[in-house]
C-alpha cells in the first residue's frame, strides 16, 4: 500500500496540491479582508468640519449612494478560489489515497479541471472590472449638490471621499481601513496568478493521465470488457465477412436433386402415402 502511494505522488501532483493550498489561503484571506472593510460602514453621521450651525451638514459612514459591485466581485473571487482549491485538494487526495477505479478518478479529474477553468475566468473578469471601476472614480465638485447623486465604491469612499470632508478619518474607522481595502483589491492579482498556475498544472496532469481519452470509453480490465473501439471494429469485420461468405447449402431444384443422386422413396409415392413423414413413421 505504501509503495503504491509513493508511486502516485509525483512532482506534478505535489505541485498541484501545494498550489491548491496556497490558493485556499489567499482566497480565505481575501474574504476576511473585504469583510473587515465592510465593518467600517455603520450608521454614524459626523458633522462636516467648518460647517455652521445653520448649515448643519453631516456626512454618513454608511451612505446610500455606494457602488457595491467591486466589493461583491471581491467576495466572488474569494469564494470561487476556495471552491477551486478544495477541488484540487480532493482530486490529489483521490489520486494518492482514495479512489482506485480509474473511470471514477477520471471523472473527478474532469470536474476539477472544469472548476479550475471557471475560477480562472471569474478571477480575470472581476480583476479587470474592479480595476477599471476604481480608476474612473472621482470626487463630486460640490458636497451639498452632487454628493448624494454620486456613486462611490467602498474603497474610494474610505480612501478619498470621506477623508476629503473629515479630518483624521481613521479615528472613526478604528483601523487603517484604506490600506486593508487596497490590499483586498490588489490581492485579486495574486489570486489570478495562482489560478493561472493551478489551471495549467491541472491541465498538464489531465493530459498526462489521458482523462479526455479514457472518459470516452474506459474498459474494465478486471472484468474483461473490451474497448469501445474493439467492439466497433469487431462488429464491422463480422458484418463484412458475413456479406462476403456464401452459404454452402443452396436450395435444390428438381434438376439439381437428380444430379446429386437424391431419390424420392418409392413407398412415399404410393397412393396411400402422402408424405415422407408417413413413410418413415412406418419403419
Q: Average pLDDT, stretch 105-109?
A: 80
The mean predicted confidence, pLDDT, of the chain is: 77
Q: Give CA angle at 130 (48, 43), nearest 5°.
A: 30
CA-based radius of gyration for the chain: 39
* Sequence-ordered list of residues with C-beta below 8 angstroms from that of 178, at least 6 positions apart, any chain: 155, 158, 159, 163, 170
Strand partners, 66: 152
Q: Which residue has the higher pLDDT, 209 or 2?
A: 209
Confidence label for 131 from pLDDT (cuts 50, 70 and 90): very high
Which residue has better confidence, 201 or 141? 201
Higher pLDDT, 225 or 92: 92
* pTM of the complete model: 0.70
Query: pLDDT by residue (tens digit) across 132-186?
Result: 999 998 888 776 667 778 888 999 999 998 888 888 888 888 889 999 999 999 9
* Mean predicted confidence (pLDDT) in 20-26: 95
pLDDT for residue 170: 87
The SS3 of residue 65 is coil
Detail the DSSP E strand segments found in the chain: 45-47, 58-60, 66-67, 152-153
Query: What is the reported pLDDT for 228?
Result: 52
- Answer for the pair 191, 23: CB distance below 8 angstroms, yes or no: yes
pLDDT, position 221: 43
- Flag the least confident range among 87-96, 109-118, 236-245, 268-277: 268-277
State the average pLDDT over residues 90-96.
84
Q: For 41-81, what is each residue's pLDDT tens digit?
A: 988 877 777 666 666 777 888 888 889 999 999 999 999 99
Cα atoms found within 13 Å of the Cα of residue 33, Cβ hemisphere only? 23
Percent of the residues in the chain that have a pLDDT greater than 90, as a whole number: 37
* pLDDT for res 266: 53
Amino acid at each position: 500500500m505504501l509503495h503504491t502511494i509513493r508511486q502516485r505522488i509525483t512532482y506534478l501532483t505535489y505541485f498541484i496540491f501545494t498550489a491548491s493550498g496556497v490558493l485556499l489561503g489567499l482566497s480565505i484571506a481575501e474574504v476576511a479582508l473585504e469583510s473587515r472593510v465592510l465593518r467600517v460602514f455603520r450608521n454614524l453621521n459626523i458633522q462636516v468640519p467648518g460647517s455652521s450651525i445653520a448649515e448643519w451638514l453631516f456626512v454618513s459612514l454608511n451612505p446610500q449612494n455606494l457602488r457595491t459591485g467591486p466589493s461583491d466581485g471581491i467576495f466572488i473571487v474569494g469564494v470561487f478560489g476556495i471552491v477551486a482549491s478544495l477541488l484540487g485538494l480532493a482530486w490529489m487526495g483521490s489520486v494518492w489515497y482514495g479512489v482506485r477505479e480509474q473511470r471514477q478518478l477520471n471523472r473527478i479529474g474532469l470536474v476539477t479541471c472544469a472548476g479550475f477553468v471557471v475560477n480562472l475566468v471569474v478571477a480575470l473578469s472581476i480583476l479587470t472590472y474592479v480595476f477599471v471601476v476604481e480608476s474612473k472614480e472621482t470626487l463630486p465638485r460640490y458636497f451639498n449638490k452632487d454628493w448624494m447623486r454620486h456613486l462611490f465604491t467602498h474603497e474610494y469612499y474610505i480612501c478619498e471621499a470621506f477623508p476629503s470632508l473629515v479630518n483624521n478619518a481613521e479615528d472613526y474607522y478604528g483601523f487603517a481601513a484604506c490600506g486593508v481595502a487596497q490590499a483586498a483589491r490588489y490581492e485579486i492579482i495574486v489570486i489570478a496568478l495562482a489560478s493561472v498556475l493551478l489551471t495549467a498544472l491541472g491541465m498538464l496532469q489531465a493530459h498526462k493521465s489521458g482523462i479526455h481519452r479514457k472518459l470516452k470509453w474506459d474498459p474494465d480490465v478486471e472484468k474483461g470488457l473490451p474497448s469501445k473501439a474493439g467492439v466497433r471494429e469487431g462488429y464491422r469485420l463480422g458484418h463484412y465477412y458475413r456479406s462476403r461468405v456464401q452459404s454452402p447449402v443452396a436450395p435444390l431444384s428438381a434438376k439439381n436433386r437428380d444430379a446429386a443422386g437424391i431419390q424420392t422413396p418409392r413407398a412415399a409415392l404410393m397412393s396411400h402415402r402422402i408424405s415422407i413423414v408417413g413413410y418413415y413413421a412406418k419403419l
